[in-house]
Chain A
């Protein structure tokens, strides 16, 4: 087990270097002038442009630029943005917010999705099953930005039940954006667990458990669920990573000051240090999440061993 984890951690190093390099190169490859808009509606003075280029090593060859960046990064220095703010401060401010939002979404997705999946999986072809199938199909077919705007318009502006945007990012305020963010994945989780449950319901070990005369609750709750959740856990794990980096639309609609909006604006303003910094952290989160998911397999399914 320990050896396996160590091997996985070592494998992360080339992945980490590769992704940060790609991101770094891509950010500066986007067409357009990095100083556009920095000075309002006029062009920046030459001396200002020259200083910024020197500060961000823009006159060096790309590989050297990246090397300088990486050396600083390894020492824990994420650099500064053009507005003189430490990138690490921005990340420290934005990440907890997005993490909260992602956790709310994950909770919504897991609780509602798995419950719906189990219920409909056990009642194959019944009314509840059809209801879950139709409603998940409905959710899957609507893009998140439609769900977001409709929720904001109807509940926020017309009915006035919720504030149209998030005033301060507390867990309570993030419930509505969390629901919107989770809506699509929730439907997938429901369908995944439904299929898995329906398949495993007729598995040998379930029949054995039934024959032993175990109560239904124990059969479903322990034997069936534990085995059926493996694909669902995989999905949830990678989804948490996706929520962290991909909440741009939801964060934009509900004005959540999180990572998605930060990356989006930094790409627009060509703030290379910021984009690479945030994406680096996201890459790390992704790598750790997949490792965690892989380790969870062993816990859920005794047949899987990492020795």
Chain B
């Protein structure tokens, strides 16, 4: 269908140069080329509802197209397979999907494909990784009863009383309704994640065959897999969506280590890698190695220091303020990260729609005078302890933060390292922290709500510091019930301002992700989720 257009190289270069900054046109690029990108071995079977880990997601993301996709420039959701998603009360959503879309095996994508897939993923006995994403839909407790004493306890979870979510209803071939158990204004934003992908009949007929040969509805088709070596995909020329790729074959190569992948990237044997290894970042080695092949952008993750509210003296708000105002974020981001981190002034990420600067106010600004005043007010004179794992390159900044606190406040401050991330997270989850600790957040979906509810709402899934503020919870609930997005954003911002008073965690900085491309690729951009934006890729 598509064939490489032959354009003199000079013209192509000129066009590419003028197109800088805007969306590039495929002029002069080789649309039949193949590219090879970095991957890690998928940890789970290749089923969208059962993979939330990055090695599997990199494969499934191009294979499937959900109702909405996130725009690479600003992470905003745009309709992909959805024609429209409508609601009047933020509780019942009517979804109309586009007609004539096909799975790779030629069967049509219908409303039933979505509803069946969601029901399968949510069903408790299927024990999928993505089940919890459906917990807001009405009837979730019936299909996925909670284990009364958690996975560690001896009791078995009760058997489900229903097989399908009562909140999902197929109206006709191209329409279905979603009823939530509680109103949730930003729900349409959350469904861009690939656990919400549709599944073909073939999956329900023979799951093992599907796992060996996944059939999606996305811009790429599955070709083959050599376990431990690579996975090959090719362009789906019958794809109906707008995001048609401008190259043909995609090979996801499994690397034993990031370092070896980096060597291949430098030698132009690997076309793209989205996160460079520490040895390349040290002393900005990548600038010498890659030159203009460095690909960098601000991505949806941040770094914070969380407080254990179950441990004295960290439940003292004045002490928390003193600590926050004693950290010189500007100097640390400049000295240690050489500008690849941006000091944070609030809990919501700056790339989010509705982000407002300065939400944390004076408490997130370095101010030695006020920090000392706050410390005096707190009455605490003992030692301050910061805990973090050190396997992700966290030691340097953690020590800098501790020194900043020590020098500003004049109290003893100590950094206690923990060697592995797994061990560290285990203690965080078990509420066994002996001091304040490093925490970070990577957005699940691009909404202002995702930076607040899961981390700070009472009893929320990632609220491991056990912070609780009824007024804040009430404000979030009010925002969830809002009928329009603008109204919801306004209410979430009010909730964020409440955090500034309590300071349940100290926002430190947001992060840039540094990747690299080969010189074969004319254009290759990262998206805000730290993944290569396949639809901008152009091969020279």
- Residues of A bordering B, CB below 8 Å: 31-33, 36-53, 82-85, 89-90, 93-94, 152-153, 156-157, 160, 163-165, 167, 251-257, 261-262, 265, 269
CB of B267 within 8 A of CB of A157, answer yes
* B contact residues around A31 at 8 Å (CB): 420, 422-423
B36-56, CB under 8 A of A: which get 1 and which 0?
000001111100000011100
Docked complex Cα distance between A164 and B289 (Å): 14
For residue A85, give the distance in angstroms from its CB to the closest CB of chain B: 5
Residue of B nearest to A85 (CB): B227
CB of B422 within 8 A of CB of A33, answer yes
Residue of B nearest to A86 (CB): B227
**B residues 99-152 touching A (CB-CB < 8 Å):** 124-125, 127-129, 131-132, 144, 146-147, 150-151
Is B226 an interface position by the 8 A CB rule? yes
For residue B153, give the distance in angstroms from its CB to the closest CB of chain A: 9
* A contact residues around B256 at 8 Å (CB): 251-252, 255-257, 261, 265
For residue B302, give the distance in angstroms from its CB to the closest CB of chain A: 13
Known A36-B422, A47-B127, A48-B131; contact A164-B157, beta-carbon cutoff 8 A: no
For residue B194, give the distance in angstroms from its CB to the closest CB of chain A: 11
**B residues 240-271 touching A (CB-CB < 8 Å):** 254-257, 259-261, 263-264, 266-267, 269
B216-233, CB under 8 A of A: which get 1 and which 0?
000000000011110000
Is B211 an interface position by the 8 A CB rule? yes
Is B385 an interface position by the 8 A CB rule? no
CB of A41 within 8 A of CB of B442, answer yes
Given A42-B444, A84-B44: 17 more A-B contacts, CB < 8 Å: A31-B423, A39-B53, A40-B54, A42-B462, A82-B43, A152-B263, A156-B267, A157-B263, A163-B269, A164-B269, A165-B264, A167-B269, A253-B260, A253-B263, A255-B261, A257-B229, A269-B43
Residue of B nearest to A261 (CB): B256
CB of B57 within 8 A of CB of A50, answer no
CB of A253 within 8 A of CB of B259, answer yes
* B contact residues around A153 at 8 Å (CB): 263
CB of B157 within 8 A of CB of A47, answer yes
Docked complex Cα distance between A50 and B259 (Å): 35
Q: Which of B132, B256, B259, B462 has the most CB of A within 10 A?
A: B256
CB of B266 within 8 A of CB of A83, answer no
Known A32-B423, A32-B426, A46-B151; contact A38-B227, beta-carbon cutoff 8 A: no
Known A33-B422, A84-B44; contact A39-B267, beta-carbon cutoff 8 A: no
Q: Which of A42, A156, A253, A269 has the most CB of B within 10 A?
A: A42
CB of B267 within 8 A of CB of A163, answer yes
Docked complex Cα distance between A202 and B368 (Å): 82
Docked complex Cα distance between A305 and B304 (Å): 71
Residue of A nearest to B421 (CB): A36
Q: Which of B42, B228, B264, B461 contacts A94 (CB 8 A)?
A: B228
Is B429 an interface position by the 8 A CB rule? yes
* A contact residues around B147 at 8 Å (CB): 46-47, 50
CB of B257 within 8 A of CB of A252, answer yes
* B contact residues around A152 at 8 Å (CB): 263
* B contact residues around A40 at 8 Å (CB): 52-54, 57
Q: How many residues of B contact A (CB 8 A)?
A: 51
CB of A43 within 8 A of CB of B429, answer yes
* A contact residues around B431 at 8 Å (CB): none
Q: Which of A40, A85, A256, A269 has the most CB of B within 10 A?
A: A40
- Residues of B bordering A, CB below 8 Å: 41-45, 52-54, 57, 124-125, 127-129, 131-132, 144, 146-147, 150-151, 156-157, 211, 226-229, 254-257, 259-261, 263-264, 266-267, 269, 420-423, 425-426, 429, 442, 444, 461-462
Docked complex Cα distance between A51 and B151 (Å): 9
* A contact residues around B461 at 8 Å (CB): 42-43
* A contact residues around B127 at 8 Å (CB): 45, 47-48, 50-52
Docked complex Cα distance between A241 and B18 (Å): 59
* A contact residues around B129 at 8 Å (CB): 38-39, 44-45, 48
* A contact residues around B125 at 8 Å (CB): 47
For residue A165, give the distance in angstroms from its CB to the closest CB of chain B: 5
Known A50-B127, A93-B226, A255-B261; contact A83-B151, beta-carbon cutoff 8 A: no
CB of B131 within 8 A of CB of A45, answer yes
* A contact residues around B53 at 8 Å (CB): 37-40
* B contact residues around A262 at 8 Å (CB): 228
Q: Which of B132, B151, B260 contacts A255 (CB 8 A)?
A: B260
For residue A102, give the distance in angstroms from its CB to the closest CB of chain B: 16
Docked complex Cα distance between A219 and B437 (Å): 73
For residue A254, give the distance in angstroms from its CB to the closest CB of chain B: 7
CB of A164 within 8 A of CB of B264, answer yes
* B contact residues around A51 at 8 Å (CB): 127
Residue of A nearest to B230 (CB): A257
CB of A46 within 8 A of CB of B150, answer yes
For residue B54, give the distance in angstroms from its CB to the closest CB of chain A: 6
CB of A165 within 8 A of CB of B260, answer yes
Q: Which of B228, B261, B269 has the most CB of A within 10 A?
A: B228
* A contact residues around B264 at 8 Å (CB): 163-165, 255
* A contact residues around B128 at 8 Å (CB): 45, 47-48
* A contact residues around B227 at 8 Å (CB): 85, 89-90, 93
Q: Which of B147, B211, B227, B461 has the most CB of A within 10 A?
A: B227
CB of A265 within 8 A of CB of B41, answer yes
For residue A38, give the distance in angstroms from its CB to the closest CB of chain B: 5
* A contact residues around B420 at 8 Å (CB): 31-32
* B contact residues around A269 at 8 Å (CB): 43
Known A31-B423, A44-B129, A47-B131; contact A252-B259, beta-carbon cutoff 8 A: yes
